[in-house]
Structure 1
Amino acid sequence: MLAVLNATFPVFALILAGWLAARRQLLGPHGGDVLNRFVIYLALPALLFHAMTQVRPDQLAHGGYVLSLLIGFMVPFAIAYCVKRPPGTRRTDVAIEALANAYANAGFMGIPLCLVVLGPDSLAPAIIATLMTACVLFGITITLIEFDQHQGQHPVRTVLKTGRALLRNPLLISPLLGLAWAGAGVPLPLALDRFIVLLGDAASPCALVAIGLFLAQAGAGGAPSTVARIVFAKLVVQPVVTAVLVLMVFDTPPVWAWTAIIMSALPIGTGPFMLAQMYHRDAQASSRAILVSTVISVLTISALIALIQHQGLLRP
């Protein structure tokens, strides 16, 4: 329980800090917009770029592990597309909800939690899970959103405009540039590396403060049924699917298997909220789902840690 509280308390505290700042009007009427732009165009691209520069080919050699994570992402992701919706619902909104169904708070909570529970052997699989969450899921969602933004035009024109929009999107191009840098085998100069790390480290805390600002300014909102559906898909469907795959389908080393399960059982990260803000869509459901899933995860992850302890894998 202490490990879970240590991982979740900073999330609550940062959201609360943003909420209090909005209530006291410490950042002014446009503070939330400025903070969102900082995260979207500077901090988060730096984080994604640096993460991808750290990828090694041998880390991606565990095909069963990677496939388990991918299928574990896509099953809850697809749930959003199976829901009957009112006529005229934008596909952009469906894509953002689909992202929320599968986007874990991997970097901010997942890696520290895995290190506490499973020890340093869990670092490599936790990093892979974080990269896939931040890059693969983001890439799929942004592609779907951009196609929706340019629909209704000639198919060729739609493809060209979507391609140009994707190439200009900092959240998609930054991990691709990072992967290209890693493939070149050239280490980042120390000064540049420190700059990117410092900038990237600001992404998660600033995003969480921005959520607090938004919650305070938006008031009550977000359909309870939508929030409940998102939280169920994230905290129940994704970890169950992932667990079945790593424990029963693929031959996965125990530490890697339980790392995958922990990472899939995490509450929702800030990615869906950031995309909703970036594309000027309603962010109430995603922001409240982040808060609710984080609260509930204190219980669900504690139960998961108890199960890991029963398996004899808990770090002494």
Structure 2
Amino acid sequence: MSAIFTIIAPVFLMIAIGYGAMRQRVFSRDQFDGLGKFVIKIGMPMMVFNAIATRPIADVFKPEYFYGYTLASGLLFFISWYATKKRGLDSKLAALNGLAVGMSNSGFVGYPLLLMAIGPAAGVYFAMNVLTENLLILPLMFIFLDLAKGGQTDYRALFVRIGRSLLTNPIIIAMPIGLVFAFGWLPLPVFMDKLFAMLAAATSPLALLMIGGNLYGMSIRGNVKDMAWVAFGKLVLCPLMVFVCLWLAGAGEDMIFAALLFAATPMPSLYALFGGLHGFAKETSGAMLMATLLSVIPISLVLMHYR
């Protein structure tokens, strides 16, 4: 039990520190955004590169994990989208709820947790999650948001926009560069290990601070029942579906543990961001706050069972 507390406590304390720093105006919103740019554009891409470049190619891609996790994410998106529509809610909110249940906060919460649990190998699983999120879940959300607007959808422009987003994503760019070293085509300079260690030490706590800062100002107001359904989908249905799909794909215990730990985290802050852009700030921020506060329960259960 103490080992589990040792993993969970630093994560949620860093989130609380980020919330408190924003509440006490230690940082401005612009300064927090600047920290977020460092995490997303420099820190995490470098850690993904390191996870791939420092391992033989056979250890970089785990098909049972990738296919199982991708299948689960896709099913969860459609289940959440359909359930929201069935309750008579707006089609745009249905697309957003598909993202909320089908996509975890892999980078800001899942990766730091898994890093403390299994060490640098966490980067390999994170890299595969990034592929699933960027190649499947985000495009699905954009497509269904466009369909919800009504009228004729310009699919060519939509896919060009999605493709441009992928090609300019630093984490996506880091993957093929890392493969050059994983295949052994080039030796990885020794001094890079120290650079990666420095970045790893800085990136994870900053990511957690960002979560706390983003939670400041959110509140659970409005239709709490609908928010609770979204939180239930993310924290209960998502881990269950991920477990079933990885088990069917033949994944080993280590892979299932990594996948479940990611699945037990709350939805990404993109959910509240896009919710605000489409007129659902109250609904999405409330559900995200609820899921973040309650996520300590499924995370603890996963750690208790597998560690």
Task: Quickly name the TM-score band, shorter chain normalised.
Answer: 0.7 to 0.9
Structure 2: distance between partners of 1:109 and 1:294: 12
Structure 2: distance between partners of 1:222 and 1:267: 26
Aligned twin of 1:134: 130
Residues 114 and 223 of structure 1, relative CA distance in 2, 3 Å threshold:
farther
Residues 130 and 158 of structure 1, relative CA distance in 2, 3 Å threshold:
closer
What's the TM-score, normalizing by structure 2? Answer: 0.74
One-letter code aligned to 1:295: V
Structure 2: distance between partners of 1:238 and 1:171: 24
CA shift at 1:4, angstroms?
1.7
Task: Give the stretch that moved more between structures: 160-169 or 283-292.
Answer: 283-292
Residues 200 and 139 of structure 1, relative CA distance in 2, 3 Å threshold:
farther
CA shift at 1:167, angstroms?
1.4
Would the aligned equivalents of 2:18 and 2:209 in 1 still touch at CA under 8 Å?
yes
CA deviation vs aligned residue, 1:265-298 (integer Å, no higher than 9, x gap):
4565577115755997546256425522432136
Residues 58 and 162 of structure 1, relative CA distance in 2, 3 Å threshold:
closer
One-letter code aligned to 1:39: V
Aligned twin of 2:189: 189
2:268 aligns with one of 272, 295, 298: 272
Aligned twin of 1:311: none
Would the aligned equivalents of 2:61 and 2:124 in 1 still touch at CA under 8 Å?
no
Root mean square deviation, CA, Å: 3.9
Verify: 1:96 aligned to 2:99, yes or no.
Answer: yes
Aligned twin of 2:240: 240
Would the aligned equivalents of 2:82 and 2:94 in 1 still touch at CA under 8 Å?
no
| Aligned residues with identical type, % of pairs | 20
CA shift at 1:156, angstroms?
3.1
Count of residue pairs brought into register by the alignment: 294
One-letter code aligned to 1:93: L
Verify: 1:143 aligned to 2:139, yes or no.
Answer: yes
Residues 216 and 195 of structure 1, relative CA distance in 2, 3 Å threshold:
same
Aligned twin of 1:87: 90
Aligned twin of 1:297: 298
Aligned twin of 1:20: 20
CA deviation vs aligned residue, 1:158-179 (integer Å, no higher than 9, x gap):
3334322321233433334434
Structure 1: distance between partners of 2:116 and 2:74: 25
1:110 aligns with one of 111, 114, 126: 114
SS of residue matched to 1:217: coil
Structure 2: distance between partners of 1:47 and 1:97: 25
Would the aligned equivalents of 2:264 and 2:299 in 1 still touch at CA under 8 Å?
no
Residues 21 and 64 of structure 1, relative CA distance in 2, 3 Å threshold:
closer
Residues 299 and 59 of structure 1, relative CA distance in 2, 3 Å threshold:
closer
**Structure 2 portions without partners, runs of 5+:** none
